[in-house]
């Protein structure tokens, strides 16, 4: 059993910053892939950023240069630093993990960008 728990969502003005964090617990010590997806109302869930093991982060074009993913395998966390937020970044953000072909999801945390 693996659980992913997000924190850090909230309301922010355009141009502002937020940092999302996710910690995983359970029977698997480390998840090979960890990342973040988001889903805005009426849209499909989309990949925001992901990281394999200790590799480099991969980003959706819409967030490149503004968002940074990082992970700490010892603490079993993955974070998403979001800068220069835009209205269109408003969505529920989901922590994601994958190991041996099995996917795991957090419950989601809402990010609202509004003036």
pLDDT tens-place string over residues 65-78:
999 999 998 889 99
Phi, psi (deg, nearest 5) at residue 87 = -50, -40
Per-residue pLDDT of 1-19, as tens digits, reads 889 999 999 999 999 999 9
**Cα dist. 98→10, 47, 49, 105 in Å?**
26, 13, 13, 9
Per-residue pLDDT of 49-105, as tens digits, reads 999 987 889 999 999 999 999 999 888 999 999 999 999 999 999 999 999 999 999
Give the Cα separation of 19 and 35 in Å (integer): 14
User: Would you say the C-alpha torsion 87, 91, 96, 102 has a positive or negative sign?
Assistant: negative
């Amino acid at each position: 059993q693996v659980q992913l728990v997000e924190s850090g969502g909230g309301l922010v003005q355009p141009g502002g910053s937020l940092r999302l964090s996710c910690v995983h617990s359970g029977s698997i010590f480390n998840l090979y892939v960890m990342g973040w997806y988001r889903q805005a109302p009426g849209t499909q869930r989309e990949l925001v950023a992901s990281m394999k093991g200790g590799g480099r982060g991969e980003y959706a074009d819409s967030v490149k240069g503004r968002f940074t993913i990082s992970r700490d395998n010892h603490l079993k966390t993955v974070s998403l630093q979001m800068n220069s937020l835009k209205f269109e970044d408003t969505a529920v953000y989901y922590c994601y993990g994958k190991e041996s072909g099995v996917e795991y999801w957090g419950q989601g945390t809402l990010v609202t960008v509004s003036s």
